[in-house]
Amino acid sequence: MKAIKIILYINILFLGAISCSKLSVEDNKFSLVSENDTLHYVQIKTDTTINNWQLPYPVYQFQVGDVDNNGKDDILVGVIKTTRFDSTMSKRLFIFKNYYGLVRPLWLGSSLGQELVDFKFVEDKKGARIRSIEKEKSGKYLVAEYKWRKFGLKFTTYINREITIEKAKALLNE
């Protein structure tokens, strides 16, 4: 009976050491692994593990930044796909988080305010934001900003509206 308690205690210590090492890994490497034009994987690589999330869609954008302001980088991926509520093949924004070395969805957006053209993660003295180029109903473009709010992105402001794509691209990269 005493031997069983000792073995159980050793197993608990061993499992505790493994879980603590997962929690303390800070040197995460985020990447997008491409199999072909329509099959990609979001990957988190730590010192001890590799975890993938399959994206069976074309990808047009990949960035890393702390979207939800929790001190840990998130993964922003622009994909082209339909959704259950929108059968149009369009650009979408997916945000993933690192959950103890595992890729997990933070937000799988079906749309922003208008048709998404491009986005960029921005972080400065105003905090973390996602700046987007969206197509207006008139055919011109707008640049907007969104912030993370609990369970998704919240519109905060328009940078400019009813502008050319060239001007929108310049504002996106400011």
Contact in structure between 134 and 171 (CB atoms under 8 Å): no
Mean per-residue pLDDT over the chain, rounded: 84
Indicate the pLDDT class of residue 131, thresholds 50, 70 and 90.
very high
Residue in this structure with the two tokens 């399959």, named with its chain if needed: 54
Contact in structure between 17 and 10 (CB atoms under 8 Å): no
Q: Say whether pLDDT at 162 is over 80.
A: yes
Beta-strand relationship, 127-135 and 141-149: antiparallel
Q: Say whether pLDDT at 161 is over 80.
A: yes
Indicate the pLDDT class of residue 1, thresholds 50, 70 and 90.
very low
Q: What is the mean pLDDT of residues 122-146?
A: 95
The amino acid at 55: L
How much is the pLDDT for 106? Answer: 94
Strands of 37-126, DSSP E: 39-45, 50-55, 59-65, 74-81, 90-99, 102-108, 115-124
Q: How far apart are CA 131 and CA 129, in angstroms?
A: 6
How much is the pLDDT for 142? Answer: 97
List the chain domain ranges. Answer: 27-111, 112-174
User: Percent of the chain scored above 90 by pLDDT?
Assistant: 62
Q: How far apart are CA 27 and CA 37, in angstroms?
A: 29
Helices (H), the chain: 2-24, 165-172
CA-wise closest residue to 127 among 153, 112, 147, 98: 147
- For residue 163, count other CB atoms closer than 10 A to its CB: 18
CA-wise closest residue to 53 among 41, 45, 40, 70: 41
> pTM here?
0.80
Express each pLDDT in 20-71 by its tens digit: 333 333 456 889 999 998 899 999 998 888 999 999 999 999 999 999 999 9
